[in-house]
Each structure stands twice: as C-alpha cells, then as structure tokens.
Amino acid sequence: MPDLVLFQPDIPGNTGTLLRLGACMGVHVHIIEPAGFRLDDKALKRSGMDYLETATLVRHTSWDDFETWRTEENRRLVLLTTRSKQNYLDFQFKTDDLLMFGRESSGVPDDVYSSVDEALTIPMQDGARSINVSLSAAMVLGEALRQIR
C-alpha cells in the first residue's frame, strides 16, 4: 500500500485531515519534522477526530532520518509539486510508493527536490497557484489506489 509523507507540515488541520484519510484508507502517514505545530495540537485532534486513534503515524525527526529509513526500506519517493510538468494521471504508481507533499507555505527545498525519484503535478487552470494539500493528497492517493487495486 502506498504511504503519504508530509514534509514539515505547517497547518495542523491539514495534517489531521490526512491522518483521518490514512486511517480510512489503510495507509500510513509519515511526518518529516519539524512540523509548524505541536503534534498534540488541538486543531490536529479536531480535524482528525476520533480517527487519530486508528491512524498509523510515523514520525521522522529530520529529512536525514527519513532518507536513512527510506534507503533501508528501498522505497520509491514520489513528490507532488507545482514545479513538475509530469501529470500524475500519466504516471504508473507502485504498491510501495511514498507519496510526498511539501510544506503548505513553501513546498520542499531544492536539496529535497533533487533527492526524489519522481516529481509529479496535478494540472490546474492557468493562473491557479496550488490546491490544498489535503485535497491534493486525496486526489493522488485515490489514483494510486485505483491503479494498484
């Protein structure tokens, strides 16, 4: 099953929503710290509701910690970003992919971008900046699950 990966998330409500999505879909949610909020934040609990108890949250204390784990697990890292031209609908997902989403405020830094195996985008109308990270993750995870099931 693919996993969701949040790189240093800024907004607890989005993270809570993604933990709820992970719980409902049976996927793990990884957080690469530091987050822009405490992981016991009330907003995180409010948006995740009682699903937080059934969600599988994997915390990585840093990008380096995550990369060490990923290398040991031999997992492909797929970044969703507005910086790519490759449409996520034209991509062949694999069962053990890690679907990574950057910070709501700034995406991922260049060194992280250059470390990913694939970079995909969700095509949008001209002039549109970005889609909310929770909605983006739901769209891409839905397509990945459609392909592998």
Domains in the chain: ranges and CATH: 3-148 (3.40.1280.10)
Percent of the chain with pLDDT over 70: 94
> How many CA atoms within 13 Å lie on the side-chain side of 82?
15
The answer to whether 4 touches 101, Cβ cutoff 8 Å, is yes
Q: Which tens digits make up the pLDDT trace of 121-140?
A: 999 999 888 899 999 999 99
E strands present in 75-138: 77-80, 98-101, 118-120
Q: pLDDT at position 29, please?
A: 96
Quick one: average pLDDT of 36-57? 73
Separation of alpha carbons 107 and 85, rounded Å: 16
Q: Is the pLDDT of residue 65 over 80?
A: yes
**3-state DSSP call for residue 70?**
helix
